[in-house]
């Protein structure tokens, strides 16, 4: 599967963030889906797996860390990039321990995100 066909799920309770990331990633050729919280994201992933999940840390219903724990139960090898406007060392370390590939602060810089995605999609098995 080429990068242009990869499915990405953007999970964020802030509609503006979801829309901005969707526009940026779609412009790069990715098939982008969105969810407003972790619970909604899990439902979508059960129906249609994705190659990458970009999720916010602080969300109502199910926060990013709880979502990551639940995701690990169902799909342990998922590629996840955690994003947050409230970066803290504890949540950063917990996200990485739960298997997140990386943890970025908002606002997300497109160049930084593209480099991370390239690194993730081309990592050795």
Render pLDDT for 35-61 as a digit per residue (tens, 0 to 9).
Answer: 999 999 999 999 999 999 999 999 998
Other CB atoms within 10 A of residue 88 CB: 10
Least confident piece of the model among 31-35, 100-104, 121-125: 121-125
Render pLDDT for 98-121 as a digit per residue (tens, 0 to 9).
Answer: 999 999 998 899 899 999 998 888
Q: Round the average pLDDT of the chain to a whole number and report it.
A: 90
The domain in which residue 94 lies consists of 3-121
- Secondary structure string (H, E, C) spanning the chain: CCHHHCEEEEECCCHHHHHHHHHHHHHCCCEEEEECCHHHHHHHHHHCCCCEEEEECCCCCCCHHHHHHHHHHHCCCCCEEEEECCCCHHHHHHHHHCCCCEEEECCCCHHHHHHHHHHHHCCCC
Residue 76 sits in a domain whose CATH number is: 3.40.50.2300
What's the whole-number mean pLDDT along residues 56-70? 93
**Which band of pLDDT confidence, cut at 50, 70 and 90, is reported for residue 1?**
very low
Percent above pLDDT 90 for the chain:
67
Q: How many domains does the chain have?
A: 1
Report pTM: 0.91
């Amino acid at each position: 599967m080429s990068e242009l066909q990869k499915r990405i799920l953007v999970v964020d309770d802030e509609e503006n963030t979801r829309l901005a990331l969707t526009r940026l990633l779609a412009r790069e050729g990715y098939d982008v889906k969105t969810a407003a919280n972790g619970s909604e994201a899990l439902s979508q992933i059960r129906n249609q797996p994705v190659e990458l999940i970009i999720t916010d840390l602080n969300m109502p219903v199910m926060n990013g860390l709880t979502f990551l724990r639940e995701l690990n139960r169902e799909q342990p090898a998922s590629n996840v990039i955690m994003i947050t406007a409230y970066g803290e060392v504890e949540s950063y370390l917990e996200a990485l321990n739960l298997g997140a590939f990386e943890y970025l602060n908002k606002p997300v810089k497109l160049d930084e995100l593209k480099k991370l995605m390239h690194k993730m999609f081309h990592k050795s098995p």
